[in-house]
Amino acid sequence: MKVTGYKLRQAIKEMETARDLLAARFADCLKEFEGEEKPDPIDVMKLYEAAEKDLASLQTAQTQYNVLVRVPGLGILLSEAIKQVGGAGRVEKMWKVVATGPKNRYGFESDSRSKDMIVAKLKVSAESAGGLAKRAGKWASSLREAIQLGNAIEVDIEGLDPELFE
């Protein structure tokens, strides 16, 4: 079956919702008062197990998709771009903190000075850290864009059940 990353992601989201609803229904149907009619917990559990199995199939297809697609412009697999994007964002954030200086958690700077105090000096200037933050941000942005472009590519996943998308 031919799918895009977006189609897989949406199907996974819908299946997770269905599974979560069945889990809630199962907990609710374990007990009933006289006169109440609730579904049989065994039947609900069968539906829950089927949803878990379908979710696993979709997630496996997503993994296959991620290793089949090369993201445009970067020449790396979609799975690698996905794994790198979080780290790239963290690198950008760390350099931004250096560039802007640490913030006092109470929102004010110390107004006391001591001529005997020894103060450690930054090894990287704020300007340099700003440039490094900008460079890291561009890399993170290019990864995000590549992931979006990669998810739009249609790929044939062998053995994927079309009913999982209904």
pLDDT higher than 60, residue 50: yes
Q: What is the pLDDT of residue 166?
A: 86
Question: Would you state the pLDDT for residue 112?
Answer: 58
User: Under the phi-then-psi rule, with left for phi > 0, alpha for psi from -120 to 50, and beta for the rest, what region is 75?
Assistant: left
Q: Which of 89-93, 116-120, 155-159 has the lowest mean pLDDT?
A: 116-120
Nearest to 5 by CA among 154, 161, 112, 118: 154
- Please name every residue paired with 3 in a beta bridge, in sequence order, or none if there are none: 155
Tell me the pLDDT band of 118, cut-offs 50, 70 and 90. confident
pLDDT mean over 17-22: 97
Name the pairing type of β-strands 2-3 and 155-156.
antiparallel
Nearest to 98 by CA among 73, 69, 121: 121
Averaged pLDDT score across all residues of the chain? 91
Distance CA 61, CA 157 (A): 7
pLDDT band at 121 (very low <50, low <70, confident <90, very high): confident
Contact 146, 74 (CB under 8 A): yes
Give 122's contacts (C-beta < 8 A, 6+ positions apart). 98
Mean pLDDT of 80-102: 93
Q: Is the pTM of this model over 0.95?
A: no
Torsion of CA 121, 122, 124, 126, to 10 degrees: -110
